[in-house]
Every structure is written in C-alpha cells, then in structure tokens.
C-alpha cells in the first residue's frame, strides 16, 4: 500500500469540488446575464408573483400597441378634417363673393358651380382616407370607400341632377336614403298617371321614401325608370289621391285623439270643409266656421269618415295648424299590425257601433292585423278578440269608432264581419309618393307665367287677364300631371291662351318659364316642350298608369358606409368611440349645400340663374356645416346640430384620452419592470464576490486534493 485514504473519502472530496464548480458555473451565468436563474425553478418562491407581473406588463404593452395603431388612424382622420374645413371655408368665401356680384351672369354662375363641384370632389377624397387598408370614415364597413358621388365631373353631375325634373335632395333623410323594396314589402304598386302618384297595397311600405329622394323601379311593365319623390300624397280609403274640393255641411265626422273626440261638420260645428293643396304638396283643410279645428295641434292623429263621396275619408296626422287651417298627411301608423290585452269589456280598447255605446268585448288578447291584398290593392285592418260573437251586431257599411289602441284610433267604415261576429274589418288608406311636378288643379287665376324671349329681355309674362306681346291672358289654368310630351297647363281662354297678338306661340318650345303665384302651389322653373296655343307642356318624367305585383324599388345614397358604433378598448375598464362617419351631419350638410349650387346647367329650367333662392339656401347650410347653429332661418326645416368644429373637437378629445391612457400604461409598465427586475436580477457585486470566493475555494480544493493524492505510507514514515 502506497497511499493513505479510502475510495469513499476520495469520492466525497471530488463531489465537493464538483459542487463548487457548479456554483461557479451558476455564478458566471448570473454575472454574464444579470439574472438569478434561467428557469422559474431557480426562483420558485417568487415565480407566481413574477408570472403575474409579466402577464400584466404584456397586457399593458398590448394596449399601447393597439392604442398606437388607432392613434395613427385618428391622426390621419384629423388631417382629413383639416383639409375639409379648409375646402369649405374657401368655398364659403367664393360663394360670398359670387353673392355680392351679378348672380345671373353666365361666367359667374358657371365659375361658382365649378368651384362647388370641385369642393365636393375634394371632400369625397378627404373622406376616402385609408390607413392600413381600412377606410376611416365608413363606420364598420372599413373595406368600403364611404363616399361615391354620382359623377366625376360637373357636367356628369348636371346630367343626372338637372335641377328641374331631377333635383339635388334638400333633406338629410333623402340624401342618405338607401333601401330596396320588393313585392314582399309593397305587395303591389299602383301607378296613376292622372294624379302623378305611386302607391302600394301595403299601406305604410312607401313611407320610408323621403321627399326629394330618387328611386328606381324595375320589373314593372311600363315604369322601369328613375323617379324623384316630390311629396307624399295623402290618399283616401278608396285608393285615390286626395283632390281639392269641398265636403258638404254635415257630411263628414272628424275623430281625433286617443279617446277619440268627434267633431261634427254640421252648421253648428265646423261647417263645410274646404280642401286645397299646400305649396309643399300636402293637403290643407279649412273649416267654414273659423278656428273650429284649433284643438287639432301639430302631431294630432285623426280620421275623416263620411265626407262627400268619401273623397277625403281616411286616417291622417296634423303637420301644422296655422290660424285654424290644418295641413295634414297620411297617418302611416294605421297601416301596421297591433296587439294588446283587453283587461275589461271596454278597457283599454273601446269600440262603438255607429257612434253609440261602447261594444262589450271579451277580455284577453286582441289583435288588429294589417293585411294587404293584391286583389283590392288595399290594406285591410281586422280586429279579432277571444270572443266568438263580440261583433255580431256589426254589418258592412256601419261605422266603427275605436279608442284606446296604440295606433288605430278613429272612425272607420266596416268592410267585413267575420263569421258569427268573430271579427270586424275596415279598409285603411295607403301612403303614396307623388312623382309629378304638378299637383292636379283647376281654376287657377293667380299664376304669373314669366319668361324671356331674347337676351336682356325682361317682364315677358302672361297672367289671367293680360300679357306682353299683346297676349290677352290665359283666363284660368288647369294643371295636369299628364300630357303628351310632358305635364300640361291648359288655359281656359282656348287657342289664344298662349299666343302673341300676332298669333305666334308664346312662350315658344324650349323656352324656360317661371311660375309664381300667391299660394305657391306648382310654382317653379320649367322648360316648355309643347305649345298648341290652348295648352303648354313642360319637361317631365311621365309615369304610366299600371298595377304591378312584381316591381322592385331601389334607392341609393352617395354614402356607402354604415352607422355601426365603432369602439376601441383602450384599457380593461374603458372603451372609446372611434367611429367617424362620412354621413355625419356636418359632411351631409356640406354636400347638400354644394350640390344645391352645382346642379342644373346655366340657361336651363334647373340652372342656378333660374333658381336664385338656392344661393341663400346653400349659404345657410354651408355656414351650419362649418359652425352650427348658423344664424338665420333654416330653409328646409330644423337641421340637426353638428359641424366640422364639433367633429374635430370630438376627435381631439378621443386622441387625448388615448394619449393619457398610454401614459398610464407606460407608467404601470415601468413599475412592473422594477418589480420584475427585483425578482429576476442578481446584485452583480454580490455575485462577483461569491464567484471569486468559490474560485478561491476551488483552487484550494484542487491543491488539497493534489496533496492528499500524493500522500503514501512511505512518505508518512519518512
């Protein structure tokens, strides 16, 4: 034996050396990486906290990333808004300069129309801003260019909107209307050329076609073309458009309100009722006894039943009541289905027969079902209760007065009774659209027909009893929505109605005429297409009478986006609206104002020179689009509040909110990083000291091991 020690002692000593080497390796890794451990096991006691901190940090970083992306889009949108504002203010100044000069000069008119359409194209371009493949002003339809004007040039725009037979819509609802209706919606379309109206068998289906909107008909026999809604025409229960005339004393009963209240038209009540058109195409009702219709304020719903010849029977709503003269339109709510629960025999629904006592109804469910029919072209309302004989006393031709319903109050004529009195039905009058420029009228003597027969000529006109160029007057006028080459105006003076003293046709074909009157009905600019001396016809889009069950109606808008509320989550507890829509009232009013100026070529019936009122109308809308509310009276009724400034302010607010949240997220990230570093990172001074200590220990261990391995009994004995 030459050495001292055992295998076990040697192995233990080597293991100790290996442990020191392992610690040194770990120490070297800690010094080089700055981390306590490369695995969570190395910091097991703090691993759960570390994982939570890292998750929260990643979430905050993701919010910042998403917010930054949205912020980029909002910044691009803000740039577009600045451009739009600049374009509008530039045109505002141009329009003011034009207004202060000669507004009928050809050069001036064509120049301002060019400026107007260029501004429309500029705004279209700005609203078409696209970031990362997404359109900014389209709402939820981010892949759809939000604004598509009908033409790329002024001449193309004027070819569509000639300002006469087709006019740029003057209301927001008409500007933005986009819809499709098939026979499943309308059931049947009834076109009447004599009244210039189109109605549907489904009583309320056409109510969505706003006045001024353009729509196209397809799949009909004779009317596959594009029309414009001139007004909504009130119809009677017989399906005929209301006409001017008088309902005799005592003939009709007016029922209004939810009870309802019945007004007698007898001599001691309202007296005879006179019906006449308003300038906007609605019908007015004037009682012989002044102010007897005063209780019927704007918004009141009423029915007329039993008028002379049933010519004005139907359900209507009051548009206005000025000095006791009621202007009204069709009550489209009457054409809807309704359900309610009868809790007592006369409550909440109260029905009476022939103005008598209330009919006793069985308690339980009550339905008032609207059923349109292709056989009659009308909508029938059928009232059904749980009782099998509640209406046994009713007969066809009786009157039924309804109160307490949601939308069917009034007095109606019974059209059918169910077997054994299980139900009772009555016909509801439909809403209709008027597509003709003229409303039918006779006996008009208050109209002045003005025109120019040559450059610089003035005061060429024809009135009821006289005219220039030795014209002897037209007598009285009859307006008809139908004719051969266009809608017709006939003079009672016969063959001399529209000629000069020398017999020349006056005004000539192609001449632009201006109609003005005390009532305002049928006033406007028109182009003469025919003159026979006894009548003239004006340029029109004439409908053809037909009844069709296959027709389809389409209406589209320049706005192709949607109104989906677009939100972005900027934090766990906060969302902001980031949707900016090209349909915003600020942009819509701007487009409306610019289109008013741009439509209609100079020298035509629809030109700006012939329609000077459009200048002040456009000025108001433009001012309101830039800064709302604008000073003055809105030309087309109350406008929605909203302007470019408010859009910019709302956008700026959202940008600031996002910036504040990003700052908060970054502060939180910094805090979390400090906590994470405290758990993960090593103190390098301590690590280096420990490493040096282990290095010295390892060196000593190697030396000791070498000495021990060199020991032997011989060396020991010596």
What is the β-pairing status of strands 179-181 and 189-192?
A: unpaired
Residue 687, pLDDT > 90, answer: no
Measured distance CA(325)–CA(283) in Å, rounded? 10
Write out the two tokens for 19.
Answer: 């442990």
Could you tell me which of 254, 250, 275 has the C-alpha nearest to residue 263? 254
Residue 513 shares a structural domain with residue 529 = yes
492 vs 32, more confident: 492
Write out the two tokens for 57.
Answer: 């940090």
Residue 212 shares a structural domain with residue 163 = no
**8-state DSSP, 509:** T
Residue matched to tokens 């900014």: 136
Residue 466 shares a structural domain with residue 503 = yes
Could you tell me which of 92, 150, 55 has the C-alpha nearest to residue 644? 92
Measured distance CA(303)–CA(360) in Å, rounded? 23
Measured distance CA(202)–CA(373) in Å, rounded? 8
Residue 78 lies in a domain: no
Residue 152 shares a structural domain with residue 183 = no
Residue matched to tokens 């458009």: 241
Residue 322 shares a structural domain with residue 270 = yes
Q: 65 Cβ partners below 8 Å, 6+ apart?
A: none
pLDDT by residue (tens digit) across 309-333? 999 999 999 999 999 999 999 999 9
Measured distance CA(165)–CA(284) in Å, rounded? 25
Residue 667 lies in a domain: no
Domain that holds residue 310: 245-330
> CATH number, domain at 217?
2.40.30
Cα distances (angstroms) measured from residue 449 to each of 116, 489, 520, 538 = 30, 11, 13, 13
Which residue, of 400, 429, 458, is where some domain finishes? 429
Which residue, of 330, 364, 382, is where some domain finishes? 330
Report yes or no: 76 and 606 within 8 Å, Cβ to Cβ. Answer: no
Residues belonging to the chain: 718
Q: Which of 138-142, 590-594, 654-658 has the highest mean pLDDT?
A: 590-594
Q: 459 Cβ partners below 8 Å, 6+ apart?
A: 450, 468
Residue 61 lies in a domain: no
Residue 666 lies in a domain: no
pLDDT by residue (tens digit) across 378-417? 999 999 999 999 999 999 999 999 999 999 999 999 999 9
Report yes or no: 367 and 387 within 8 Å, Cβ to Cβ. Answer: no
C-alpha angle 598-601-603 in degrees, rounded to nearest 5: 135
- pLDDT band for position 565 (cuts 50, 70, 90): confident
pLDDT by residue (tens digit) across 208-264? 999 999 999 999 999 999 999 999 999 999 999 999 999 999 999 999 999 999 999
- pLDDT, residue 38, reads 66
Measured distance CA(563)–CA(253) in Å, rounded? 44
Arithmetic mean of pLDDT, 664-688: 74
Cα distances (angstroms) measured from residue 155 to each of 125, 152, 594 = 19, 9, 15
Measured distance CA(684)–CA(702) in Å, rounded? 26
Report yes or no: 499 and 517 within 8 Å, Cβ to Cβ. Answer: no
Write out the two tokens for 119.
Answer: 């501004």
- pLDDT, residue 34, reads 63
Question: 3-class DSSP state for residue 417?
Answer: strand
Cross-strand pairs, 181:
553
Residue 581 shares a structural domain with residue 634 = yes
Question: 3-class DSSP state for residue 565?
Answer: coil
Residues of the chain above pLDDT 90, percent: 78
Residue 533 shares a structural domain with residue 546 = no
Could you tell me which of 364, 349, 362, 348 has the C-alpha nearest to residue 401? 349
Residue 157 shares a structural domain with residue 184 = no
Cα distances (angstroms) measured from residue 454 to each of 182, 458, 460, 507, 603 = 49, 9, 10, 11, 12
Residue 252 lies in a domain: yes
- pLDDT, residue 692, reads 73
Residue 60 lies in a domain: no
Residue 502 shares a structural domain with residue 515 = yes
Cα distances (angstroms) measured from residue 82 to each of 85, 132, 400, 645 = 5, 21, 62, 10
Sign, Cα dihedral of 297, 301, 305, 308: positive
Which residue, of 378, 401, 429, is where some domain finishes? 429
Cα distances (angstroms) measured from residue 715 to each of 6, 507, 568 = 17, 145, 86
Measured distance CA(334)–CA(407) in Å, rounded? 6
Residue 343 shares a structural domain with residue 424 = yes
As a whole number, the mean pLDDT across the chain is 91
Residue 321 shares a structural domain with residue 385 = no
Residue 461 lies in a domain: yes
Residue 251 shares a structural domain with residue 165 = no
- pLDDT, residue 2, reads 47
Alpha carbons within 13 A on the beta-carbon side of 472: 11
- The answer to whether the bond into 82 is cis (omega within 30° of 0) is no
Residue 162, pLDDT > 60, answer: yes
Measured distance CA(702)–CA(686) in Å, rounded? 24
Alpha carbons within 13 A on the beta-carbon side of 62: 10
Measured distance CA(491)–CA(671) in Å, rounded? 90
Q: 253 — phi, psi (to 5°)?
A: -125, 130
Residue 570, pLDDT > 80, answer: yes
The number of distinct structural domains making up the chain is: 6
Which pTM was predicted? 0.86
- Cβ count near 56 (within 10 Å): 16
Cα distances (angstroms) measured from residue 173 to each of 102, 179, 303, 436 = 33, 12, 27, 20
Report yes or no: 57 and 63 within 8 Å, Cβ to Cβ. Answer: no
pLDDT by residue (tens digit) across 179-199? 999 999 999 999 999 999 999
Measured distance CA(85)–CA(648) in Å, rounded? 10
Residue 43 lies in a domain: no
Write out the two tokens for 24.
Answer: 């040194």
């Amino acid at each position: 034996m030459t050495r001292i020690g055992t295998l076990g002692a040697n192995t233990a000593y080597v293991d100790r050396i290996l442990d020191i080497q392992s610690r040194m390796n770990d120490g070297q890794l800690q010094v080089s990486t700055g981390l306590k451990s490369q695995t969570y096991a190395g910091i097991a006691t703090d691993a759960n906290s570390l994982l939570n901190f890292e998750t929260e940090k990643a979430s905050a970083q993701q919010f910042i990333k998403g917010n930054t992306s949205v912020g980029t889009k909002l910044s691009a949108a803000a740039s577009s808004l600045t451009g739009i504002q600049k374009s509008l203010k530039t045109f505002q100044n141009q329009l003011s300069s034009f207004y202060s000069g000669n507004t009928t000069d050809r050069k001036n008119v064509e120049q301002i129309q060019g400026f107007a359409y260029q501004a429309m194209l500029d705004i279209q371009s700005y609203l078409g801003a696209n970031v990362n493949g997404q359109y900014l002003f389209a709402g939820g339809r981010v892949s759809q260019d939000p604004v598509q004007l009908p033409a790329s040039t002024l001449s193309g725009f004027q070819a569509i909107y000639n300002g006469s037979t087709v006019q740029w819509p003057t209301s927001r609802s008409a500007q933005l209307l986009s819809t499709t209706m098939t026979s499943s919606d309308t059931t049947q379309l009834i076109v009447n050329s004599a009244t210039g109206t189109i109605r549907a068998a489904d009583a309320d289906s056409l109510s969505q076609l706003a006045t001024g909107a353009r729509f196209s008909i397809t799949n009909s026999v004779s009317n596959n073309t594009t029309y414009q809604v001139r007004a909504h025409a009130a119809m009677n229960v017989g399906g005929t458009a209301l006409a001017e005339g008088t309902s005799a004393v005592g003939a009709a009963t007016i029922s209004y309100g939810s009870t309802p209240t019945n007004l007698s038209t007898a001599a001691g009540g309202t007296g005879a009722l006179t019906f006449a058109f308003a300038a906007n195409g609605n019908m007015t009702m004037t009682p012989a006894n002044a102010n007897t219709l005063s209780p019927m304020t704007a918004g009141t719903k009423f029915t007329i039943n039993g008028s002379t010849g049933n010519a004005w029977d139907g359900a209507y709503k009051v548009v206005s009541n000025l000095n006791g003269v009621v202007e009204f339109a069709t009550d489209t709510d009457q054409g809807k289905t309704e359900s309610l629960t009868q809790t007592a025999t006369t409550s909440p629904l109260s029905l009476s027969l022939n103005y008598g006592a209330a009919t006793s109804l069985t308690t339980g469910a009550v339905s008032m079902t609207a059923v349109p029919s292709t056989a009659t072209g009308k909508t029938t309302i059928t009232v059904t209760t749980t009782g099998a004989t509640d209406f046994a006393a009713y007969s066809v031709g009786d009157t039924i007065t309804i109160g307490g319903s949601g939308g069917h109050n009034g007095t109606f004529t019974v059209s059918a009774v169910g077997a054994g009195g299980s139900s009772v039905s009555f016909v509801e009058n439909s809403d209709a659209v008027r597509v003709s420029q003229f409303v039918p009228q006779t006996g008009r003597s208050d109209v002045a027909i003005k025109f120019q027969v040559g450059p610089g000529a003035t005061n060429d006109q024809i009135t009821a009893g006289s005219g220039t160029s030795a014209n002897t007057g037209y007598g009285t006028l009859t307006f008809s929505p139908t004719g051969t080459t266009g809608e017709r105006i006939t003079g009672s003076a016969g063959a001399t109605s529209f000629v000069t003293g020398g017999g020349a046709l006056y005004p000539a074909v192609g001449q632009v005429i201006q109609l003005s009157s005390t009532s305002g009905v049928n006033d406007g600019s028109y182009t003469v297409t025919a003159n026979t001396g006894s009548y003239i016809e004006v340029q029109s889009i004439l409908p053809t009478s037909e009844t069709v069950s296959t027709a389809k109606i389409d209406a589209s808008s320049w706005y192709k986006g949607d109104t989906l509320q677009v939100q972005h989550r900027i934090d766990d507890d906060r969302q902001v609206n980031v949707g900016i829509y090209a349909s915003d009232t600020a942009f819509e009013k701007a487009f409306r104002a610019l289109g008013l100026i741009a439509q209609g070529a100079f020298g035509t019936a629809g030109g700006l020179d012939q329609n000077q009122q459009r200048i002040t109308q456009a000025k108001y809308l433009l001012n309101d689009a830039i800064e709302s509310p604008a000073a003055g009276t809105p030309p087309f009724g109350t406008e929605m509040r909203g302007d470019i400034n408010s859009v910019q302010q709302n956008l700026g607010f959202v940008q600031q909110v996002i910036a504040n949240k990003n700052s908060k997220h970054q502060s939180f990230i910094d805090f979390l990083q400090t906590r994470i570093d405290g758990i993960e990172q090593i103190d390098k001074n301590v690590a280096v000291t420990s490493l040096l200590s282990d290095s010295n220990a390892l060196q000593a261990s190697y030396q000791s091991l070498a000495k021990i391995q060199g020991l032997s009994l011989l060396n020991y004995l010596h």
